[in-house]
Structure 1
Amino acid sequence: MNRPYAIVVVLMSLLFCMNAQASVTLSGTRVVFPAADKEVTVQLTNDGKQPALVQAWIDKGNQRTSPDAIDVPFVITPTIFRVEPGKGQTLRILYTGEPLPENKESLFWLNVLDVPPKVSGKDDVNRLQFAFRTRIKLMYRPAGLAGTAGDAPAQLKWALGTDDAHRPVLKATNPSAYVVNLAGVELKSGGKTYAAELGYVGAGETASFALTGANGAALAGGTVHYSSVDDWGTAHAHEATITK
């Protein structure tokens, strides 16, 4: 067997041996922590056929932060545990009481790392194994905030702008006290439709969203069609006119 062909065969064998799905799933796509509650819980389930070693932690937004280096006002328990096939585990998240803004939501991220069991013996030959990481938003919601989370998405103000590389972007300003999570954004301008990257807009903040295929386009206004995701993961459609 010549060398190039041998390399192709090995790569193909690796691809076919990869497990391309995470076994551990979460009960929701986001976590809301009301300030009036002492703790919230998140349910995990191992839908796979093998035991899973799981590590859980919370970060402030930098997904590269090591679990050992995090500094957040929450305690999560357990942090490292084993989940048998078809079984579940409840995560408890407790607020430590360290000061957070009382006039708006604070955004954090819950991380769940699913590490498959190590394959031993003959099955270990030409096999790639991956640890799958699930990362969802954790929103700390103070009591008595103005308005409601359901009304916040419609309050977004949209404008056109450019990024540091002078590429066109959509800018969304959120005047509400709630984090707005977006599931889809597109701009209709000059008879064309431009898709925007997805993301969220923090409470009282402005976020920029790159526009696909808009480089060099003469954008002078238009309509933004976007969908927001509520506390239960349901999407809602919205429409807004570009403001100057």
Structure 2
Amino acid sequence: MGIGFACALLAGSAHASVTIGGTRVVYPLEQREVTVKLDNDSHTPSLVQVWMDDGNANAKPGEVKVPFVITPPIFRMDASKSQTLRVMYSGEALPQDRESIYWLNVLDIPPKANAAADVSSLQMAYRTRIKVFVRPAKLPGKPEDAPAQLTWKVAASKDGKGQAVSVSNPTPYYVSFSEVDVQSGGHTFKNEEGGMVAPRASVVLPVTKMNGVPAGAKVHYIAISDYGGAIDGDATLGQ
């Protein structure tokens, strides 16, 4: 007797047949809706389920209350076809002086590789999860200028055995990083995880093997723009 297993994985779009047309979504809060394009790049159909969460990656569809509605929430995508999602703000109160953030989840469930009754099969369901930045109207400044306004300081690492960097964000925009390096004494210490700092908040980013780095060292970062592009910048590490 055949045994089928369905496994939902936190996987990037490189492993999934269904891909999202972008690495992030920006939702201007004054707009009634935004659209997100999906493409099925495979030669087979997929069953697709979409939902949003508020930061809990383990939340199942329907478990988290978010101020957005997505249509269609579940659908079949034929091979080599596209589907447009409509994301609509439902009107609940959100901060007007800074961005808010949610996450869009796309679960891609391809057909079984072998549906024969006497063959065991492993059916993999791939999930792609991207950020949705909710942007109120008339925020001061420009999001692409926010990375240059950050301040950087030496901080203790979480395990207390070395150093990390603390980055503070005085702007109303989220800033995400794909890369952060600290250069000191001919050595380069790398953050290998990326990270994000919320509006008017601070976060400590781990940096591999960083120790004994003084104030005044150089920080090089690559932030991510609204369109997924790179914003290169340099800063001085404070104490």
Question: So what's the TM-score if we normalise by structure 1?
Answer: 0.87
Map 1:142-157; keep pairs closer than 5 Å: 142-157=136-151
2:5 paired residue number: none
Of 222, 229, 233, the residue aligned with 1:227 is 222
2:40 paired residue number: 46
2:175 paired residue number: 180
CA apart distance, 1:178 = 0.5
Distance 1:122 1:231, change over 3 A: same
2:3 paired residue number: none
Structure 2 Cα separation of the partners of residues 86 and 28 of structure 1: 18
CA apart distance, 1:234 = 1.1
State whether structure 2 residue 64 is matched by structure 1 residue 70.
yes
Structure 1 Cα separation of the partners of residues 109 and 164 of structure 2: 38
2:96 paired residue number: 102
Larger Rg: 1 or 2? 1
2:163 paired residue number: 168
Provide the secondary structure at the position in 2 that maps to 1:239.
strand
Amino acid at match of 1:148: K
Give the aligned CA root-mean-square deviation in angstroms. Answer: 1.6
Distance 1:126 1:213, change over 3 A: farther
State whether structure 2 residue 193 is matched by structure 1 residue 189.
no
Structure 2 Cα separation of the partners of residues 202 and 45 of structure 1: 31
State whether structure 2 residue 96 is matched by structure 1 residue 88.
no
Provide the secondary structure at the position in 2 that maps to 1:67.
coil
Greater relative CO (CA pairs within 8 A, separation 6+): 2
CA apart distance, 1:86 = 0.5
Question: So what's the TM-score if we normalise by structure 2?
Answer: 0.88
1:13 paired residue number: none
CA apart distance, 1:124 = 7.8
1:236 paired residue number: 231
Structure 1 Cα separation of the partners of residues 209 and 157 of structure 2: 15
Distance 1:108 1:124, change over 3 A: farther
1:103-131 per-position Cα deviation (integer Å, ceiling 9, x unaligned): 00001111111111123445984643321
Distance 1:123 1:180, change over 3 A: farther
Aligned residues: 223
Distance 1:46 1:242, change over 3 A: same
Of 115, 126, 137, the residue aligned with 2:131 is 137
Provide the secondary structure at the position in 2 that maps to 1:186.
strand
CA apart distance, 1:190 = 2.6
Distance 1:175 1:117, change over 3 A: same
Provide the secondary structure at the position in 2 that maps to 1:150.
helix
Deviating above 2 A after TM superposition, structure 1's stretches of 4 or more consecutive aligned residues are 118-129
Structure 2 Cα separation of the partners of residues 181 and 210 of structure 1: 14
Of 200, 203, 222, the residue aligned with 1:204 is 200
Structure 1 Cα separation of the partners of residues 165 and 31 of structure 2: 36
Deviates more, 1:198-207 or 1:118-127: 118-127
Contact 2:163 2:212 in 1 (8 A): no
Percent sequence identity over matched residues?
45
Q: Which runs of 5+ in 1 are unaligned?
A: 1-19
1:144-202 per-position Cα deviation (integer Å, ceiling 9, x unaligned): 10111111011111111124421421111111011112121111123211111201111
